[in-house]
Amino acid sequence: MESAANRRLFWTTAGAVVAADLVTKLLAESLLARHLPVQVVGEYVQLRLVYNQCAAFGLCLGAYSRWIFFGLAIVALFVLRSMVISARPGDRFRLLALALVCAGAVGNVIDRIRSAQGVVDFVDVGIGSTRWPTFNVADSAITVGAIALAISLWLEGRAQERAKEAGAAQH
Protein backbone atom coordinates (compact mmCIF):
# COMPACT_ATOMS: atom_id res chain seq x y z
CA MET A 1 0.00 0.00 0.00
CA GLU A 2 2.38 2.65 -1.22
CA SER A 3 0.32 5.39 -2.85
CA ALA A 4 -1.66 8.08 -1.10
CA ALA A 5 -4.76 6.99 -3.04
CA ASN A 6 -4.40 3.44 -1.69
CA ARG A 7 -3.97 4.70 1.87
CA ARG A 8 -7.04 6.95 1.48
CA LEU A 9 -9.12 4.05 0.15
CA PHE A 10 -8.07 1.77 2.99
CA TRP A 11 -8.46 4.26 5.85
CA THR A 12 -11.66 5.87 4.53
CA THR A 13 -13.30 2.47 4.10
CA ALA A 14 -12.10 1.16 7.44
CA GLY A 15 -13.08 4.35 9.28
CA ALA A 16 -16.53 4.46 7.71
CA VAL A 17 -17.22 0.81 8.61
CA VAL A 18 -16.01 1.21 12.22
CA ALA A 19 -18.11 4.38 12.61
CA ALA A 20 -21.21 2.78 11.07
CA ASP A 21 -20.75 -0.29 13.26
CA LEU A 22 -20.39 1.73 16.46
CA VAL A 23 -23.31 4.06 15.68
CA THR A 24 -25.66 1.21 14.74
CA LYS A 25 -24.71 -0.76 17.85
CA LEU A 26 -25.34 2.24 20.11
CA LEU A 27 -28.69 2.83 18.38
CA ALA A 28 -29.60 -0.84 18.73
CA GLU A 29 -28.82 -0.77 22.44
CA SER A 30 -30.86 2.36 23.05
CA LEU A 31 -33.83 1.63 20.76
CA LEU A 32 -34.21 -2.16 20.87
CA ALA A 33 -33.83 -2.83 24.58
CA ARG A 34 -37.58 -2.34 25.13
CA HIS A 35 -39.11 -3.22 21.76
CA LEU A 36 -38.28 -6.77 20.66
CA PRO A 37 -38.32 -7.56 17.78
CA VAL A 38 -38.80 -4.73 15.31
CA GLN A 39 -39.91 -6.10 11.95
CA VAL A 40 -38.21 -4.53 8.95
CA VAL A 41 -39.37 -6.92 6.21
CA GLY A 42 -42.07 -8.98 7.90
CA GLU A 43 -40.62 -11.85 9.88
CA TYR A 44 -37.81 -12.26 7.31
CA VAL A 45 -35.68 -9.33 8.50
CA GLN A 46 -36.03 -8.13 12.07
CA LEU A 47 -34.04 -6.02 14.47
CA ARG A 48 -33.47 -7.81 17.77
CA LEU A 49 -30.91 -6.89 20.45
CA VAL A 50 -28.62 -9.79 21.40
CA TYR A 51 -25.33 -9.77 23.29
CA ASN A 52 -22.89 -12.38 22.03
CA GLN A 53 -20.05 -13.28 24.38
CA CYS A 54 -18.85 -15.95 21.99
CA ALA A 55 -17.67 -15.84 18.38
CA ALA A 56 -19.41 -16.36 15.06
CA PHE A 57 -22.20 -18.94 15.02
CA GLY A 58 -22.18 -19.22 18.82
CA LEU A 59 -18.69 -20.75 19.10
CA CYS A 60 -17.85 -20.51 22.81
CA LEU A 61 -14.68 -21.35 24.69
CA GLY A 62 -15.98 -21.19 28.24
CA ALA A 63 -15.85 -18.47 30.85
CA TYR A 64 -12.91 -16.72 29.21
CA SER A 65 -14.41 -16.54 25.69
CA ARG A 66 -14.45 -12.74 25.77
CA TRP A 67 -10.71 -12.47 26.32
CA ILE A 68 -9.74 -15.43 24.16
CA PHE A 69 -11.62 -13.98 21.18
CA PHE A 70 -10.22 -10.54 21.97
CA GLY A 71 -6.68 -11.98 21.79
CA LEU A 72 -7.43 -13.90 18.59
CA ALA A 73 -8.81 -10.73 16.99
CA ILE A 74 -5.65 -8.80 17.90
CA VAL A 75 -3.49 -11.55 16.36
CA ALA A 76 -5.71 -11.52 13.25
CA LEU A 77 -5.30 -7.75 12.97
CA PHE A 78 -1.51 -8.13 12.95
CA VAL A 79 -1.75 -10.76 10.21
CA LEU A 80 -4.10 -8.51 8.24
CA ARG A 81 -1.70 -5.60 8.74
CA SER A 82 1.07 -7.58 7.06
CA MET A 83 -1.29 -8.37 4.18
CA VAL A 84 -2.12 -4.68 3.79
CA ILE A 85 1.54 -3.69 3.80
CA SER A 86 2.43 -6.36 1.23
CA ALA A 87 -0.52 -5.67 -1.08
CA ARG A 88 0.59 -4.95 -4.63
CA PRO A 89 0.49 -1.26 -5.55
CA GLY A 90 -2.78 -0.50 -7.30
CA ASP A 91 -4.58 -3.63 -6.03
CA ARG A 92 -7.53 -1.58 -4.82
CA PHE A 93 -9.89 -4.58 -4.71
CA ARG A 94 -7.62 -6.38 -2.22
CA LEU A 95 -7.14 -3.22 -0.14
CA LEU A 96 -10.89 -2.71 -0.01
CA ALA A 97 -11.38 -6.33 1.08
CA LEU A 98 -8.71 -6.00 3.76
CA ALA A 99 -10.19 -2.70 4.98
CA LEU A 100 -13.58 -4.40 5.43
CA VAL A 101 -12.13 -7.35 7.36
CA CYS A 102 -9.92 -5.11 9.52
CA ALA A 103 -12.74 -2.69 10.30
CA GLY A 104 -15.10 -5.51 11.20
CA ALA A 105 -12.52 -7.01 13.54
CA VAL A 106 -11.89 -3.61 15.14
CA GLY A 107 -15.63 -3.03 15.57
CA ASN A 108 -16.09 -6.29 17.44
CA VAL A 109 -12.89 -5.76 19.49
CA ILE A 110 -14.29 -2.40 20.63
CA ASP A 111 -17.41 -4.19 21.87
CA ARG A 112 -15.38 -6.80 23.74
CA ILE A 113 -13.49 -3.99 25.49
CA ARG A 114 -16.46 -1.75 26.27
CA SER A 115 -18.88 -4.36 27.65
CA ALA A 116 -18.69 -7.61 29.56
CA GLN A 117 -22.11 -8.43 28.05
CA GLY A 118 -20.47 -9.21 24.73
CA VAL A 119 -20.65 -8.05 21.15
CA VAL A 120 -23.87 -6.25 20.22
CA ASP A 121 -25.76 -8.08 17.48
CA PHE A 122 -29.09 -6.88 16.17
CA VAL A 123 -29.89 -8.03 12.61
CA ASP A 124 -32.06 -11.15 12.64
CA VAL A 125 -32.75 -12.81 9.28
CA GLY A 126 -34.68 -15.98 8.54
CA ILE A 127 -37.95 -17.70 7.80
CA GLY A 128 -40.11 -18.85 10.68
CA SER A 129 -38.01 -20.76 13.20
CA THR A 130 -35.14 -21.13 10.71
CA ARG A 131 -32.96 -18.13 11.53
CA TRP A 132 -29.44 -17.11 10.63
CA PRO A 133 -27.37 -16.20 13.71
CA THR A 134 -28.03 -12.58 14.68
CA PHE A 135 -25.28 -10.28 13.37
CA ASN A 136 -24.13 -6.65 13.07
CA VAL A 137 -22.38 -4.27 10.65
CA ALA A 138 -18.92 -5.52 11.70
CA ASP A 139 -19.90 -9.13 11.02
CA SER A 140 -21.24 -8.15 7.60
CA ALA A 141 -18.00 -6.30 6.78
CA ILE A 142 -15.91 -9.29 7.83
CA THR A 143 -18.01 -11.66 5.72
CA VAL A 144 -18.06 -9.48 2.59
CA GLY A 145 -14.37 -8.63 3.02
CA ALA A 146 -13.36 -12.26 3.53
CA ILE A 147 -15.25 -13.33 0.39
CA ALA A 148 -13.68 -10.48 -1.60
CA LEU A 149 -10.23 -11.36 -0.22
CA ALA A 150 -10.70 -15.02 -1.19
CA ILE A 151 -11.70 -13.95 -4.71
CA SER A 152 -8.69 -11.62 -4.91
CA LEU A 153 -6.28 -14.36 -3.82
CA TRP A 154 -7.89 -16.87 -6.19
CA LEU A 155 -7.61 -14.47 -9.13
CA GLU A 156 -3.98 -13.77 -8.26
CA GLY A 157 -3.27 -17.51 -8.14
CA ARG A 158 -4.90 -18.01 -11.54
CA ALA A 159 -2.89 -15.13 -13.02
CA GLN A 160 0.33 -16.63 -11.65
CA GLU A 161 -0.58 -20.03 -13.13
CA ARG A 162 -1.26 -18.47 -16.53
CA ALA A 163 2.04 -16.57 -16.39
CA LYS A 164 3.87 -19.76 -15.46
CA GLU A 165 2.22 -21.65 -18.34
CA ALA A 166 3.03 -18.83 -20.77
CA GLY A 167 6.65 -18.86 -19.61
CA ALA A 168 6.87 -22.63 -20.02
CA ALA A 169 5.37 -22.41 -23.52
CA GLN A 170 8.05 -19.92 -24.59
CA HIS A 171 10.90 -22.27 -23.64
In whole angstroms, what is the distance from residue 31 CA to residue 120 CA?
13
Count of Cβ atoms closer than 10 Å to residue 74 Cβ: 11
CB 99 within 8 Å of CB 148? no
Q: How far is CA 73 from CA 110, 111, 114, 169, in A?
A: 11, 12, 15, 44
In whole angstroms, what is the distance from residue 170 CA to residue 71 CA?
49
Strand partners for 88: none
> Is position 170 within any domain?
no
Residue numbers of the domain that contains 106: 4-165
How many distinct structural domains can be found in the chain?
1
Active-site choice (21, 111, 121, 124): 121
The pTM score is: 0.83
Active-site choice (21, 111, 124, 139): 139
pLDDT tens for 106-137 read 999 999 888 888 899 999 999 999 999 899 99
Our answer to whether residue 91 is catalytic in this structure is no
Parallel, antiparallel, or unpaired: how do β-strands 130-131 and 119-127 relate? antiparallel
> Is position 171 within any domain?
no
In whole angstroms, what is the distance from residue 137 CA to residue 159 CA?
33
> Is position 46 within any domain?
yes
In whole angstroms, what is the distance from residue 142 CA to residue 31 CA?
25
Across 146-153, average pLDDT: 94
In whole angstroms, what is the distance from residue 4 CA to residue 151 CA?
24
Helix (H) or strand (E) holding 57: none
Quote the longest CA-to-CA distance of the chain. Answer: 72
pLDDT tens for 12-70 read 999 999 999 999 999 999 999 877 788 899 999 999 999 987 766 566 666 666 677 77
